[in-house]
Structure 1
Amino acid sequence: MSTTETLNGALLIGGDRITAAAGGSQDHIFPATGQPNGTVALAGAEDIELAVRAGREAQREWISYSADRRRDLLIDLADAVHEHTAELSRLNVHDYGVPISFAINTIVLERFLRHYAGYVDKPHGLSTPVAESPDLNLVEREPYGVVGVIAPWNGAMVVAGSCVAPALAAGNAVLFKPSALAPFAALRFGELCLEAGLPPGLVNVVPARAEGGEALVRHPGIRKIHFTGGGVTARKILAAAAENLIPVVAELGGKSANIVFADADLDYAARLSAYQGPIVQSGQSCASASRVLVHESVYDAFVEKFVATVEQAAVGDPFDPAVVFGPVISELDATRILSVIDEAVATGAGELVTGGKRMGGALAGGYYLEPTVFGEVDNGSPLARTETFGPVVSILRFRDEAEAVRLANDSPYGLNAFIQTTDLVCAHRVARQLEAGSIWINQVSDISPQGPYGGYKQSGFGRTGGLDGLYEFLQVKNIRIGMS
């Protein structure tokens, strides 16, 4: 498999690449082979301190630029990302084994940069009248200063677009912490920021273990944190950030329901459900539609089409453009996911329809698991209620619309929900009842800079995308001028 590309895992702080990091270093393992494909420097507390200082200095320079200049530099950065999309896609494959056929779809960064560049020179404030007074009352929005953006291993480039881009447009500097499991594309993005002419230190990229991450979220110079990841880590971040009362935005996990009504185009619904379920990123996505709710009148027909689609997915070398299904991120995760499958079988949580095992042969060295489908799943079982974060999907029956809504909402999560129907009235009616931040009707999860994205319940709080996403990186100031 293709692992010969030179990978630079040094930290990026200010304008420098740092290999001798305070947190040490580790081999990076390519999930498709289980073999090292690079070395990653890991930020420690000293590196975070250095990055915060560099960020403060760069932010003061950045905000001193005219709005036109900042806008144009972000457009230049978008142009640089466009020119290097193929390179960033390859680095995504090296990072976490996502097939190249999908990796390019994660480079939404360019779209977000162009979108938010357009807001740099737009008004962020307003003036309002004051009751029983002629005073001038101004409401302004200002940058926080230095913000921390923490990305998961499965979406550093998505987070660079949805979080780093609006943070820069709002006038902030960013400490960008990708996962040590997937640092290479993020580090190259940091270099592109320098090449596009952004001040050194405006975007510092600091892969780290827990020690470096804790130093970041506890640092009093960090004025806001945006975290994307799991609930367990989110609770630790919230507790640590509370020491300095640092506000946190959290985009967390999901156990998204995908409702297939009787009138749906079953061929299309099966393809969409396979893609959004176990296939894309091997189910390692917070947006994965891992609970498929199917009307009882079409249940058997849908399952047959869905399983056929899943079993036909091309698996293999992630650098092969024909491959759509790749490995999971690590040996630890492969073992964890297989234990979830074994427990579901042992407890009778559902009927194992296909998959359930590790792949062998030419793929035995990597972390490849069969796409796994359970039918007739009990919605109260751990299989249906706990985020697996792997290529495992549960299929459930429902009798009518009311039961479909009840089952979909009977979850601690609420990030996404999906509806498959040709009845527009039904789609609108059901969408308004679903407890999720994003509803996708006859459509896969496809975040855009125009649409706010975020969760309900244990899927988090705050938003990326749209004006809501920009405002997350701006704080409000009221200025009142006496006119009496």
Structure 2
Amino acid sequence: MISAEPFVSGKYLIDGNWVDAKDKTTVINPANINEVVGHVALCSEQDVQNAIESSERAYHSWKRTPLEERAECMRAAAEELKKIIEENVSLYVRENGKVLVEAKKDLLRCVDIMLQGADEIFEWSKAESLQGPQKVIVRKRPRGVAAIIMPWNSPLILTFKRVVPAILTGNTVVVKPATNCPLALMAFLHVVESHFPPGVINVVTGSGAMIGDVLCTDPRVRTVAFVGSTETGKDIIRKSASTVKKIYMELGGNDPAIILDDAILDEKAITRLRMGILKAAGQVCSAIKRIYVHESRYEEVVGKLTKEFQHIYVGNGIQPDSMMGPLNNKNQFDYVTGLIQHAKDSGANVKTVGIKLDPDTWDQGYFMLPSIVTGVNQQSEIVRAEQFGPVIPILPFKTIEEVVEMANDTEYGLRASVWTENEDLAILLADQLDAGAVFHNNHTIFQDLHLDFPGAKESGLSRETRHCGMEYFSDSYGFAN
């Protein structure tokens, strides 16, 4: 039985009030495109202006709120969120497509982000003394209104990693969720915003182009945090330049995994490889998107990974046996399908394997079995593109110099991984790879939520943090004596 639409369906949030929009569009279940999960408000330009005004008004008092009070508001909100995780897991699966295990981890991680942020704010806020010809004290302060523009693939974690440090450091926010997958995020924000003064958190939904234009050009918005495609990121940078905003961006990726000749490829290693490729059906910015294998291990890797993929059950994420859900939307499904077809037409060998959990309803959703692509080269489209789907090209290499050149031969630089038993060699390669972070014998995320390392080149802006991202939403200033 399909549950009733959530409270936030078709609404937007301004100044503490959830407004039922006149104009709406539907949010559908990617595992069953005939199912309407809820509705999303189509905000007007005036609605966005009102959200900015609300944020600006709230900022002047919120920035003066003591740290202890901010942290206590965050902790109280986190404790309440814990109570509604179970009831929102299925909502998230139905609008996003992730399997239950992955969806629940996302929701739990939001609570962790809040609690760690509430602890970290005190360490972050400490003044720093610089010794030199004169005594200089470095202090930190918030910037003002922050626009948080988020994608559909992992909307809860990515939004909370920005909203939490923004408001803890004294800013206010206007959040723009993705139209394809806003409901679980907004259900969480509904709980969180109730623990803060009206206007600290505002939420607008609808046209990304229009809302983005307003947020990026309004001088009252002092920071823009965006996660999404590199092309959209470039457009945001151009539009934000007129008012010299601070920009925090996590953009596209084409992550390489480099497997050296001494790598241990036991069952656990192959499982880690598979998870690095197929988590969220490959719809992860920092997923493995191309594998380079030393020629002496090439056939072994192709064989073992193919065998691993053969046991993947693909189906509706709400089913406990499902190991991989559908792609989130038709545009992404058509794009990945087109990439695979073009690879076939170009002479590549595409091996599609896996198990359809429910063949009778397969065509009712954006389901896709995982594919391994061989017989391609560095210039092949499927190697150079950010596939964002359950498909992985595998290429052989001969020398370290060759594979470093191939791995770096991209405009992206988000993540990379090196698979070898020689840690010194892994570090040597990491120093040569154009990536914001390099993992050894794994391709995953940072378990410590204090840490974050945005991408290099066209994969992002702003550098590493040890304070849950708080510096992205603040400025440092010096007091000289």
Q: What TM-score bracket applies, with the shorter chain setting the length?
A: over 0.9
Counterpart of 1:314 in structure 2 is: 313
User: Aligned partners of 1:330 and 1:399: how far apart in 2?
Assistant: 39
Superposition pairs of residues 251-400 of structure 1, within 5 angstroms: 251-266=250-265, 267-277=267-277, 279-348=278-347, 350-354=348-352, 361-400=360-399
TM-score, normalisation: structure 1: 0.92
Are 2:29 and 1:17 equivalent residues in the alignment?
A: no
Say whether the 8 Å CA contact 1:287–1:416 is kept in structure 2.
Answer: yes
Instruction: Give the CA deviation at 1:273.
Output: 1.7
Structure 1 unmatched ranges of 5 or more? none
Aligned to 2:120: 119
- Is the contact made by 2:257 and 2:417 (CA closer than 8 Å) also made in structure 1? yes
Q: Given the superposition, is the C-alpha separation of residues 95 and 124 from structure 1 closer, same or farther in structure 2, using an over 3 Å criterion?
A: farther
Aligned-partner residue type, residue 17 of structure 2: D
Which letter maps to 1:335? D
Instruction: Identify the residue that residue 200 of structure 1 maps to in structure 2.
Output: 198
The Cα of 1:394 is off from its aligned counterpart by 0.6
Aligned to 2:210: 211
Alpha-carbon distance, 1:286 to partner: 0.5
Q: 1:105-127 deviations in whole A, cap 9, x for unaligned?
A: 22322222122212333334334
Partner letter of residue 331 of structure 1? K
Aligned partner of 2:81 in structure 1 is: 81
Matches within 5 A, 1:119-138: 119-122=120-123, 123-128=125-130, 131=133, 137-138=136-137
Q: Residues 89 and 443 of structure 1: is their aligned pair in 2 closer, same or farther, counting only changes over 3 Å?
A: farther
Higher mean C-alpha deviation, range 48-57 or range 222-231: 48-57
Q: Taking structure 1 as reference, are residues 356 and 194 closer, same or farther at Cα in structure 2, changes over 3 Å only?
A: closer
1:349-388 CA distances to partner (integer Å, 9 max, x unpaired)?
Answer: x321225999963211111112111013201222111111
Deviates more, 1:353-362 or 1:111-120: 353-362
Counterpart Cα distance in 2 of 1:259 and 1:379: 14
SS of structure 2 residue aligned to 1:454: coil
Q: Distance in 2 between matches of 1:4 and 1:458?
A: 42
Structure-to-structure mapping, 1:398-417, within 5 angstroms: 398-417=397-416
Give 1:82 shift. Answer: 2.5
For 2:64 and 2:229, the matched residues in 1 are separated by 37
Secondary structure of 1:387's aligned partner: coil
Please tell me the residue identity of whatever aligns with 1:393. I
Q: Distance in 2 between matches of 1:465 and 1:85?
A: 28
- State whether residues 11 and 17 of structure 1, in contact with CA within 8 Å, keep that contact through their aligned partners in structure 2: yes
Using the TM superposition, give the Cα deviation of residue 318 of structure 1 relative to its aligned residue in structure 2, in angstroms. 0.9
Residue in structure 2 matched with residue 110 of structure 1 by the alignment? 111
TM-score, with structure 2 as normaliser: 0.92
1:421-475 CA-to-partner distances (Å, cap 9, x unmatched) read 2222222222222110011112231234222221011111114752372111111
Alignment check: 8 A CA contact 1:42 1:180 kept: no
Per mean C-alpha deviation after superposition, the further-off stretch among 56-65 and 152-161 is: 56-65
Query: CA shift at 1:130, angstroms?
Result: 6.1
Which amino acid in 1 is paired with 2:112? R
Q: Provide the secondary structure at the position in 2 that maps to 1:413.
A: coil
Distance 1:334 1:170 in 2: 39
Contact residue 13 and residue 201 of structure 1 kept, 8 A: yes
In structure 1, the partner of 2:98 is 98
Q: Is the 8 A contact 1:282 1:326 kept in 2?
A: yes
Aligned-partner Cα distance in 1 for 2:293–2:132: 55
Aligned to 1:55: 55
Return the letter of the residue paired with 1:113: M
Q: Match of 1:19, as an amino acid?
A: D
Compute the displacement of 1:323 (Å): 1.0
SS in structure 1 of the partner of residue 235 of structure 2: helix
Mapping of residues 147-162 of structure 1, within 5 Å = 147-162=146-161
Percent identity (aligned): 27
Aligned-residue offset at 1:292: 1.0
Q: 1:327 to 1:98 in 2, by over 3 A?
A: same
- Relative to structure 1, the CA distance from residue 124 to residue 382 in structure 2 (aligned partners, 3 Å threshold; closer, same or farther) is farther
The reply to whether residue 41 of structure 1 matches residue 57 of structure 2 is no
Structure 2 CA distance, aligned partners of 1:130 and 1:193?
44
Indicate if the aligned counterparts of 1:57 and 1:201 stay in contact, CA closer than 8 A.
Answer: yes
Greater shift in the superposed pair: 461-470 or 407-416: 461-470
Evaluate the alpha carbon distance shift between residue 463 and residue 200 of structure 1 in structure 2; reply closer, same or farther with a 3 A threshold: farther
Q: Tell me the secondary structure at the aligned position of residue 335 of structure 1.
A: helix
Report if the CA contact (8 A) 1:31-1:367 is conserved. yes
Deviation, structure 1 residue 253: 0.8
Paired amino acid for 1:285? V
Per the TM alignment, residue 31 of structure 1 is displaced from its structure 2 partner at its CA by 0.5
Q: Which residue of 2 aligns with 1:476?
A: 476
Q: Deviations over 1:48-92 (max 9, x none)?
A: 111112212322332232221111211222222333332343332
